[in-house]
């Protein structure tokens, strides 16, 4: 269960005892109807967070996919140009200048792409001028023919994808914060109510017996969940799922796992591997499969899961 689900369950159990035994009791100005109203907010917020997470994941993968295409084309197209036009000394000189930039980061990939594009255009013109004329350079990526024109579209559109990814992440963070604040308010109310109830009745009384139905925190601290940062496709032959994690999770956990399932194939998260702080890669999968992943941490006090994340496997980019 996720942290908010545990708080919600404790709140629902508390509400049952509250309404059955002391319906008129108020904690400050808050009564059982106020707790009920808090509980009702959980599911809509959880669903909204799931939607915003999918949107943020899709925007990030679109951005990364474009960057990967620019990297691949910026590496492979120069090889094609050299193969076709090695005798064109002036063109080879221009190409050599463009190849000084190695695509090892986002900035360097974009710099090389900007330098390769005009060389690609001039190479196409040189091929057309041959006798007989030769077709322009095309590189197929994931089944799609990439030309100099489509390469320019990828390059020009990348900044917009970066902004879209940032905006989607901002909306996700806002929704996460709403759920976190709801959890804090609910947790504070039910703990205060429990404290009042426990102090108001003697051990062995009906009221104290009723409180035993409510799960409490104590003894060994429950493990802190590990949240997933990104879920992408890559690894061996480009057909694995690659998972990276946000720092700071896993405290008090004796077991840390990454779990996954193939939608429509597995009934549940039946596959697992030890979670590596540096990230995990598993698979390979086949194009079209939908894979869901989540983390699981455990100790003697309980189990915590991250929210499930989903990725649809595409044709590998090679």
pLDDT at 221: 86
Q: Residue 106: what are its φ and ψ, rounded to 5°?
A: -60, -50
Return the minimum-mean-pLDDT range out of 72-86, 101-115, 182-196, 211-225. Answer: 211-225
- Averaged pLDDT score across all residues of the chain: 95
Question: Is the confidence at residue 102, as pLDDT, over 80?
Answer: yes
Q: How confident is the model at residue 218 (pLDDT cuts 50, 70, 90)?
A: low
Tokens in use for 117?
Answer: 């594009």
pLDDT tens digits for range 15-56: 999 999 999 999 999 999 999 999 999 999 999 999 999 999
**Cα(29)–Cα(25) distance, rounded to whole angstroms?**
10
pLDDT at 219: 66
Question: Is the confidence at residue 203, as pLDDT, over 80?
Answer: yes
- For the segment(s) 228-312, the CATH number from 3.20.20.140, 3.80.10.10, 2.60.40.10, 1.10.1750.10 is 2.60.40.10
Give CA separation, 203 vs 19, 139, 198, 199, 267, in Å: 20, 77, 9, 10, 45
Report the predicted TM-score, pTM, of the whole model to 2 decimal places. 0.89
Tokens in use for 61?
Answer: 């993968």
Among 119, 97, 118, 101, smallest CA distance to 110 is for: 101
CB 141 within 8 A of CB 73: yes
Average pLDDT over residues 114-126: 98
Average pLDDT over residues 172-179: 97
Average pLDDT over residues 167-171: 98
pLDDT at 217: 65
Tokens in use for 82?
Answer: 């050299």
Return the domain boundaries, the chain: 1-216, 228-312
Q: How confident is the model at residue 66 (pLDDT cuts 50, 70, 90)?
A: very high
**Cα(241)–Cα(281) distance, rounded to whole angstroms?**
6
- Is residue 152 packed enough to be buried (19+ CB in 10 Å), middle (13-18) or exposed (0-12)? middle
HSE-CB for 91 with a 13 A CA cutoff: 22
Question: Is the confidence at residue 222, as pLDDT, over 80?
Answer: yes
Is the dihedral angle over the CA atoms 173, 176, 182, 187 positive or is it negative? negative
Return the minimum-mean-pLDDT range out of 82-86, 168-172, 200-204. Answer: 200-204
């Amino acid at each position: 269960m996720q942290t908010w689900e545990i708080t919600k369950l404790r709140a629902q159990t508390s509400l049952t005892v509250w309404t059955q035994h002391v319906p008129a009791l108020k904690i400050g100005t808050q009564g059982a109807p106020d707790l009920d109203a808090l509980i009702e907010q959980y599911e809509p917020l959880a669903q909204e967070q799931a939607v915003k997470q999918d949107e943020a994941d899709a925007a990030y993968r679109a951005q990364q996919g474009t960057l990967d295409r620019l990297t691949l084309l910026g590496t492979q197209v120069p090889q094609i140009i050299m193969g076709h036009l090695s005798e064109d000394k002036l063109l080879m000189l221009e190409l050599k200048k463009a190849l000084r930039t190695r695509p090892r980061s986002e900035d360097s990939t974009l710099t090389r792409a900007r330098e390769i594009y005009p060389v690609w255009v001039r190479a196409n013109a040189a091929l057309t001028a041959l006798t007989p004329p030769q077709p322009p350079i095309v590189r197929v990526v994931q089944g799609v023919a990439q030309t100099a024109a489509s390469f320019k579209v990828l390059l020009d559109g990348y900044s917009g994808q970066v902004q879209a990814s940032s905006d989607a992440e901002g909306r996700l963070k806002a929704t996460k914060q709403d759920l976190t604040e709801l959890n804090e308010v609910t947790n504070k109310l039910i703990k205060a109510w429990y404290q009042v109830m426990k102090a108001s009745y003697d051990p062995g009384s009906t009221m104290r017996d009723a409180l035993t139905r409510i799960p409490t925190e104590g003894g060994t601290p429950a493990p802190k969940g590990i949240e997933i940062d990104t879920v992408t496709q890559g690894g061996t032959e480009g057909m694995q799922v690659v998972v990276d994690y946000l720092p700071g999770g896993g405290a008090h956990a004796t077991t840390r796992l990454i779990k996954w399932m193939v939608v429509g194939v597995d009934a549940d998260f039946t596959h697992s591997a030890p979670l590596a702080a540096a990230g995990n890669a598993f698979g390979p999968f086949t194009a079209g499969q939908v894979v869901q992943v989540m983390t699981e941490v455990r100790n003697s006090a309980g189990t915590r899961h991250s929210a499930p994340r989903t990725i649809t496997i595409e044709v590998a980019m090679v």
